[in-house]
Structure formats: C-alpha cells, structure tokens
Structure 1
Amino acid sequence: MGKVTTGASMSIDGYIAGPEESGFDLLFQWYGNGDVELPTGHPDMTFKTTKASAEYWRSLIENTGALVVGRHLYDFTKAWGGRHPMDVTTVVLTHNPPADRPLADENFVFVTDGIEAAVAKAKEIAGDKNVGLNGGQIARQALDAGLVDEIGVDLVPVLLGAGTPFFPSLGVKPVQLEGPISLIEGKAVTHLTYRVKK
C-alpha cells in the first residue's frame, strides 16, 4: 500500500497562491528554468527544468498512482484540458459533480462523501502507488482527518505577502513533522519532503 502525500510549490511566507489567485508565474517558474524536457500527461504541456528538479519530478510521477483535488482547482484549471499533467486518474471531491461528465472514467472520478471517501477511492485506484493531494482545503481536510503520511514543499524564493496558505485554518494543531527526509536543491526552488508524526 502506498502513502498519502500532499505537496505544493510554496512561497517562503507559506502561500501556494497569491491574492486573487495570482503569483503562479513566480511559484511555478522552476518548471521552465532549465534545459531538461519533461513531457506531461497533457499533450500541449512540456516542462523544461534543471536536472535536479527533473529527477525529483520523475520520481514523483513514478510513485504516484492517483490524485485527490477539490472542485475549485478542477474548475480553475478547466480540468487540465481533459487529463491531469501527472497522467493519472484524478479524484475530485465536490458537493456538485458536473452534469456534463460521467461520475467516473479513466481521467476523473467525482466523490461527494467527504475527504475520507475521496482518499479511499484514490487508494483503490492507486493500488501499491502513492496518492497525491493538492494543497489548500484538500490538504487541510486530509491532515485534520489524520490521513496524510508525507508533506512535500517545493520552496520558492519569493514572498507573496498574502493569498492561499498551504494548510488554511488547521483544526488539529500543532502538527509535528519529521525531517526533511528528502532535500533536493534545484534552480530557484528547494524540494523538501517531511514525514507526518502520528
């Protein structure tokens, strides 16, 4: 059985998006600041990053079997054009599944029964691989429910000042972490992984 992980590109002051969903050009600049090409599950999206970040990304892809995201991210990205860039089935936690899509196919599965049900469905899909959770409300709900095993931070040297924190309004606090259990230095990003103490 794989682990349940969450990860995000984050500013030094703790934000995964700036005010009014800004700042992504700064947070995601490491996806394009090198010369190693990384194709994704989206045919029109190829990253060009450094060797260190490329190795980190490849390991992440190889070990991830399914994702859990919220409806807000699904809508904001316009469903990534039909397939998540990580090229795995994505479980979307929502109160209102879209009427124009099936509830489940190889690209997206919609779950309405809460974070525990969404993570359980993703684990079923992932098999022996890891389940990845997006940051923000999904990460916070899963951490509050005791479902998260590891937290990855792609720490970007920028201060956004305000916006969406990685873990907004945690109900369970403090949460102690072990590590970093992995530290990879890229260009304009440091990839850190921590284990959640349970």
Structure 2
Amino acid sequence: MDDIVKAALKKWPNVPHCYGWLALDARGEWYMRDDRIQAAGPFPVVKGSRIAHEKLREFIERNYLHDDAGCWFFQNGPQRVYVELEATPWVWRLTATAAAPQLRSHTGLEASFESAWLDEHGRLFIATDLGLGLVHTLDMECAANAVEAGLWLPQDVMAAALPRQFGFVRRPAPGTDRA
C-alpha cells in the first residue's frame, strides 16, 4: 500500500466504504461503474467505463487488497472501494519458459503455481501463493502446452464453487466485508 494511502487512513479513519463503483473483468481490465451504469444492469452485463489512464491503473493495482472475508478492494486514500469480480481476484498472464510457464498477475505480481482447475465452461484457473486466478484468454496456448507436457494437471471444478473453495467474494456488499 502506498505511503500516502496509509497517511490518509490515519487522518480520516472512518470514511464509509464504497460498493459497486469498481469492477475487474475476466481479462484483468478495471471498470468504473457510476450510478447510471449500475442502474442499467449488473456487472459484467453492463461493464461501465474501462479505466485506460495508466497512472490511475497503476495506483489501483498497488493498493489492491482483500479483507478477512475475501472481499477485494482498492484502498483509495481513506476510502475502501470494493471491487466486483467477473471471475476471480487475479487474472494470470503467462510467459513460456524452459520449465513451467511463469505466472504474473494483472497487477504485475509474480506468483508460484500450486494447482490447476478446469470449469464446466472450459476456463482454466490457477491457484497460486497469491490466490486463485483465471488464465488470460491470450495465454491459453501457453497454458495448453503446460497441460500437454504434464506440468499442470487440471482438476474439474464447477465455476459456482470457486469463491467458497478459494475464499473470495465476487460481489461485495455491505455486511459481506469484515473491515
């Protein structure tokens, strides 16, 4: 977490949490969802405005955390902005290596492989030391090579079971967080 964010938390400790205004899609893209967008429909049916500003994305990604209940949020100064997840808290980008693929999150963090999971829709999820994430669609060839080489042995899973099994909340709401 940025030092400026820590200082703001100390200065204003009781700022109300924010829900529904920030979302992460299955490709690791951030979306702002104002009142009008929220009224138009749920995420990801109605996504909102993709955050393209590089410095804003970097700020969000440096301050992207989770609470004890598995609700993910962006600590925006003194305000905790909870994130709606289309799939998982992480989206993995893969880099082929001589051994198993290297995993890097949509926020740029490196991760260590623990297990692979394949859902009923054919989506590949990877559990790591950081948590569960979905393999980015552009990296499925690299992932398929790891599976074919026997480096990753995906287990079957129902998509609806993932949040409970891996301890995350897709749609935080007041009362689901333990902040």
**Which of structures 1 and 2 has the bigger CA Rg?**
2
Larger RCO (alpha carbons 8 Å, 6+ apart): 1
Q: How high is the TM-score relative to the length of structure 2?
A: 0.30
Q: How high is the TM-score relative to the length of structure 1?
A: 0.28
